């Protein structure tokens, strides 16, 4: 069976059974799984979709709410790459070639994004394999749109809810720009962490609006007055 024929056979089967393309164990993210479901590849953690499933639908709705098609940003900072859903939406659905700086700490995630999700086929993308907190602390470039999608499985590491990181993000936000912060609340601990984030954003002087796109996701649209 040729590679193309095998690919189409797998797509057909995936409408009846989920197919596992790869299971990887990362020292940063833990277990990662690439699955084909209904003819599409997804990147999942044990308890969350990292790209091209529910997360893809979420960011479609976020960009629609922001009016990205009519008012695209001049450039974008993406903190947390996943399989590249955000980039795919901008390039394939909005046909926007704006410069994107993507910061991803996990080299396994970057490898998977290239190998399975065609990230290398997009131009004008600068991918940095480093910690997002470190990047925000040392960055000098400003961005009119910053997307924060930083998870280990379904939890946002506490360092990204603290004042130093939030203030650094505010420092590199262009005047009149916006930050999109994706957060998941599934239990009381998550609710407490989310409230701590909201409190710290207020302390840092941000104005926030919450979007509830799915039951467990809290998407914050953040700006400076």
pLDDT at residue number 170? 97
What is the distance between the alpha carbons of residues 169 and 175, in angstroms, rounded to a whole number? Answer: 12
70 alpha-carbon distance from chain centroid: 22
- Residue 163: half-sphere exposure toward Cβ, Cα within 13 Å: 6
pLDDT at residue number 157? 93
Q: Where are the domains of the chain?
A: 47-223
Per-residue pLDDT of the chain (225 residues; tens, 9 = 90+): 444 544 544 555 445 556 778 898 988 888 999 988 777 888 888 888 877 788 889 999 999 999 999 999 999 999 999 889 999 999 999 999 999 999 999 999 999 999 999 999 999 999 999 999 999 999 999 999 999 999 988 899 999 999 999 999 999 999 999 999 999 998 888 899 999 999 999 999 999 999 988 888 999 999 998
Strand extents, DSSP E, the chain: 19-26, 30-37, 40-45, 48-51, 76-79, 100-103, 125-128, 143-148, 173-184, 207-211, 217-223
pLDDT at residue number 8? 47
- DSSP secondary structure letter of residue 121: G
pLDDT at residue number 56? 87
CATH of 47-223, one of 1.10.10.10, 3.40.50.970, 3.40.50.11540, 3.40.50.150: 3.40.50.150
pLDDT at residue number 200? 96
pLDDT at residue number 99? 97
- Residue 40: half-sphere exposure toward Cβ, Cα within 13 Å: 11
């Amino acid at each position: 069976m040729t590679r193309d024929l095998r690919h189409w056979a797998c797509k057909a089967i995936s409408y009846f059974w989920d197919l596992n393309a790869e299971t990887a164990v990362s020292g940063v993210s833990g277990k990662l799984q690439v699955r084909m479901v209904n003819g599409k590849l997804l990147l999942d953690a044990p308890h969350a979709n990292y790209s091209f499933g529910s997360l893809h639908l979420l960011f479609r709705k976020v960009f629609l709410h922001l009016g990205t098609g009519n008012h695209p940003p001049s450039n974008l900072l993406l903190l947390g790459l996943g399989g590249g859903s955000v980039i795919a939406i901008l390039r394939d659905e909005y046909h926007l070639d704006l410069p994107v700086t993507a910061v991803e700490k996990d080299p396994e995630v970057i490898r998977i994004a290239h190998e399975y999700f065609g990230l290398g086929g997009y131009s004008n993308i600068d991918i940095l394999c480093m910690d997002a907190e470190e990047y925000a602390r040392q960055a000098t470039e400003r961005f009119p749109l910053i997307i924060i999608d930083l998870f280990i499985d379904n939890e946002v590491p506490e360092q990204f809810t603290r004042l130093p990181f939030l203030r650094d993000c505010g420092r590199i936000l262009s005047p009149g720009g916006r930050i999109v912060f994706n957060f998941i609340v599934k239990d009381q601990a998550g609710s407490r962490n989310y409230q701590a984030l909201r409190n710290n954003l207020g302390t840092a002087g941000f104005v926030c609006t919450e979007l509830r796109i799915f039951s467990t996701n809290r998407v914050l649209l953040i700006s400076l007055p």
